[in-house]
Chains A and B, each alone.
Chain A
């Protein structure tokens, strides 16, 4: 039993490793290189224009730090079958969960520090802080994260209300950070340290009680689903089964996307808009692309990234062709595969042109340059059409 957690952790690492290898494939590394380059460049440019007299810099810093604190959850690695198989081990589980806490704490603190470090240049540029203050901020962040982790673990052993969740995750760190920025970082550091010690004491006592298995399993599954979703952006993850929503408000779009009297078009349009997997992916990728394009004023780089994003969207869209393949009726309907391909191309064309339009609008940035925008639109539309009628067809034929 004492080795259960370390064994699970080993398995978990192997799983992550397997997926990380798939994430960092050649295409993605190149895309990542551009994206980070663009972001870092934009960030450093933006910092030059800042000074210490901006009223909004401190509220923005507080909000970003609060968001950073939400990254990194309690990883318990419990599995749905555990409540059944480990039922007689209820007492031993306290030890297991303490190991889980240590593991999550280390990872959580590292992430908190890393993300906070990214924000530090902004805080330095908009204030008169010295290095001492920066260290104090880091200490506050670390103690706040530890408090949060203690509470997250204690929550599995007692009942908590929604209000309490908001207090611990938002209001408490919010108050501490506000007092740091507007009052004194020494005061903030003292408050957060005291709270952390108290939370640790409470956690030690509470974890002797009975475990709320259902919550523990549900929470861990939610967390794993988040991880799988992330990996699913880059590769197929079998564990991710999309959730389906009715989305009545999108019915007009369903109509727009499906051709009349075409069974596959009917299926694809509804599957795309009501499923969460593919449509979510396309929407997220488009939004990220828009954000990046908005901040890049250099014409050729902007164009290159737009072309890249349209290609990435196409690559993500292609597997949807086979979305209904494991459904027996898809094979039974008297419909030819040529029609299926045509219907899919029609849907892809609508999606890609829509996304291209959005990317193009965002790429305008803050100043409009008509000839450049015209060129970008032309390139984007041509690329979309080429991908739909050349590349998609080629990839689908190839797989058959």
Chain B
């Protein structure tokens, strides 16, 4: 299971936001997508999940692109958006049922998974609630549950930590570890760098719609100033360099 982004040029209008982005996410790997606001993280994710069409370049999952076979491409992906999006008309339980239907999951097995997740995220007594009654954190947990209950081979997680309580953050990271063990690939964008540093296997640093650097933490340190630098320091150096560029 490999996500391959090759020479991706894309964006929302004629003006490209992403200029030649290439990276890979392999099975059993958690890749952190990091960069400043406006660097192109969300645009990249929108391209991967198929909301945007590339101007040029290719995105493939195990060699299949969205254009070639949209149903098989989409059925491989589970997505947790930055802002939770739920159907106002559906209860929590019905959201999960819809996921089962949409991804053609085995009902019995999927519900068993769901029950476990609902218990972890303390939603198991709220199955009949409507989204309007959920707090931001709870909505985020609903998104997490319905994404993790699928058998997707690629998880796209956009800035998952906002609004989650510390316990939920911990549980989410544990669950991500678990799906990695089943051989799934995970692409996660985040600003919470100390967490990313601890959990991500590799990093893709975006800057102005281009890949500024990518690789393991050790590799990034080599590019930076010293071996003891934290991801935070590398990132800040990058941000500063950015500011220096703009003043010149």
A contact residues vs B (CB 8 Å cutoff) = 242, 244, 246, 261-263, 266-267, 270-271, 274-275, 324, 327-329, 331-336
Contact = CB atoms under 8 A, between A and B. Distances in A.
A329 B87 CA distance: 9
A271 B95 CA distance: 12
B104 to A, nearest CB: 8
B89 A244 contact: yes
Interface residues of B, number: 27
Given A266-B94, A331-B50, 19 more contacts: A246-B91, A263-B98, A267-B87, A267-B89, A267-B90, A270-B89, A270-B94, A274-B89, A327-B87, A328-B49, A328-B51, A328-B79, A328-B85, A332-B49, A333-B103, A334-B70, A334-B72, A334-B75, A334-B102
Contacts, number: 62
Contact of B130 (A244, A267, A271, A328): A244
Interface string B12-52: 00000000000000000000000000000000000001110
B87 A332 contact: no
Q: Chain A binding site: helix, strand, loop or mixed by DSSP? A: mixed
Given A332-B77, A334-B74, A262 B101 contact: yes
Nearest to A270: B89
B98 A267 contact: yes
Interface in B217-242: none
Nearest 10 pairs of A and B residues by beta carbon: A334-B75, A333-B102, A334-B74, A263-B102, A274-B89, A263-B101, A271-B89, A334-B71, A244-B88, A270-B89
Nearest to B95: A329
Interface of B: 49-51, 70-75, 77, 79, 81, 85, 87-91, 94, 97-98, 101-104, 130, 132
9 contacts: A262-B101, A263-B101, A327-B85, A328-B51, A332-B74, A333-B74, A334-B70, A334-B71, A334-B75
Contacts of B87: 267, 270-271, 324, 327
Nearest to A268: B89
B79 A332 contact: yes
Most buried by B among A261, A274, A275, A334: A334
A265 to B, nearest CB: 9
Contacts of A333: 74, 102-103
